[in-house]
Amino acid sequence: MLGLTPGEITALGLSLKVSLAAVVFSLPFGIAVAWILARRDFRGKIALDTLIHLPLVVPPVVVGYLLLILLGRNGPLGAFLYNALGVTVAFTWKGAAVASAVMAFPLMVRAIRLSLETMDRRFEMAAQTLGASHWRIFFTVTLPLTLPGILTGTVLAFGRSLGEFGATITFVANIPGETRTLPLALYTLAQTPGNEWPAARMMIISLVLAIAALTISEVMSRRLSRRLGVRS
């Protein structure tokens, strides 16, 4: 374990790229959806909540197959992206990022929504009394006060993206150097006799990466909570 092999470096780099892209792509939508679910009552709210959390309860393979139907070269969205923009999503690392984002999205939304529901709204009301607009209140009061939840949701989504397997292999296959992330590389090694030690190394890399992400998240969340507690 003193040095990583080229295969491990490729899988690790691809996993980080896919997970970062998944989080960056889904974070604005996660904040928006969490705010809507936490602050608004409307007809169809239960249906939206159910749809958002569906990836948590259905098999990941089902999610991957639905993505393949929608975003495949002949799918309604996939055909539009290819014909209009020349973009192919299925069987590419971009598709792996989409699959990871979809599977991790419920965890992100739940963490941010909980933070929004438990924050002290008197700060928002005070800003509104002073004449601040809704957008200014959102960006200068609401977002800063929900940063611990946003951070927790982001790291949970990042960790979930790192471990995504079922939807990824169904939607983008297991292509070396293109879609073979750490879980898929571990699966490939585990299916080949005599690769017990390389598979164990890949498992250790995945565990270390996940533990590091969770530890950093916990430390930063506690620091943010202490700062916000002092200010309030």
**Confidence grade of residue 229 (pLDDT, cut at 50, 70, 90):** low
Q: For residue 191, is it within any domain?
A: no
Q: Is residue 155 part of a domain?
A: yes
Go through 75-114 and write b for each residue having 16 or more CB atoms within 10 A of its CB, e for each that does not: beebeebbeeeeeebbbbbbbbbbbbbbbbbbbbbbbbbb
Q: Residue 230's pLDDT is what?
A: 42
Q: For 200-226, what is each residue's pLDDT tens digit?
A: 999 999 899 888 888 887 787 777 767
Task: Please check whether residue 90 lies inside any domain of the structure.
Answer: yes
In a domain, 164, yes or no: yes
Token pair 């997970």 is at which residue? 19
**How far apart (Å, rounded) are the C-alpha atoms in residues 158 and 28?**
14
Q: Is position 138 within any domain? A: yes
User: Residue 51's domain is classified under what CATH number?
Assistant: 1.10.3720.10
What are the tens digits of pLDDT across the range 185-199? 999 999 888 888 989
Question: pTM of the predicted model, to two decimals?
Answer: 0.88
In a domain, 11, yes or no: no
Q: Per-residue pLDDT tens for 147-192?
A: 888 988 998 899 899 999 999 999 999 999 899 999 999 999 998 8
Whether residue 182 lies inside any domain: the answer is no
pLDDT at 228: 64
In a domain? residue 200: no
**What is the span of the domain harbouring residue 115?**
18-176
Q: How many domains does the chain have?
A: 1
